[in-house]
Amino acid sequence: MPATIHYVSVFNKEDTLIPQSDLIDQNYVHAKCPVHNHKQSRTFVATSPIDFNLSINRTPDQNYIFCSRPELLEYDEEHINSPKPVMQLVFPKFLFYTKDENIWFEFNDHPMTALKNNFIAIGGWFNLSNWSRASSTAITLVNEKKSVIIEKGDPLFRVSFYPPNLDDSIILKKETNTEVVDQWVEAHEKKTEEDWRPRLFSKTKTESKCPFSFLFK
């Protein structure tokens, strides 16, 4: 049976995830490969809704961050001073939820960003059925001496979903009802790290309930 994933766009309600299979030129030989297509049908791409520039200059005395939209960039000194500086883009941002059990969510970089945009998104995964969590776009620069230049429409990262039976298909549904979206985001923001951290990697318990179940009644 197909697994259904619901999502809302937090940053800009018009932002939408694109099936990766829609972005592949069907003239490529690998587009006909069943192994390739099986993976792509469970993977979705987030593109940038805006133009965005960023550069960094780290010195022994001080760190200098230059950004076209500073309100859309988050960081602290610990992350900036790591061997490779790490920062958070707050766009685009999506919140995911599923009523199916043991659906794993994977966040991955997009290979084009290292070539075109001079950054790599930092990946991770967790059991989405246990915790509905917003995507978090942490990035690190490929070359600190160059700027990060993002144009509207550039792919930024990919998300994939894995049901217990990997042969089950994935249905991704965007919630567009404004009232439901606002309730969903509000419920998510009330949760603390103590609520979600112990449940990130454990199996779904049948008796557990989704924190957003009231939205689907």
* pLDDT given at position 16: 93
* pLDDT given at position 214: 44
pLDDT over 80 at 178, yes or no = no
Contact 47, 9 (CB under 8 A): no
**Span 133-145, pLDDT tens digits:** 778 899 999 999 9
Q: How far apart are CA 4 and CA 6, in angstroms?
A: 7
What's the predicted TM-score (pTM) here?
A: 0.84
Beta strands across the sheet bearing 124-127: 18-19, 43-47, 155-162, 104-109, 124-127
Q: Which residues contact 63 (CB under 8 A, 6 or more apart)?
A: 56, 57, 77, 80, 81, 85
**Span 57-102, pLDDT tens digits:** 998 888 999 999 999 999 998 999 988 999 999 999 999 988 899 9
Both tokens of 62, joined, read: 């001080």
Dihedrals φ, ψ of 91, to 5°?
A: -140, 150
Overall size of the chain counted in residues: 217
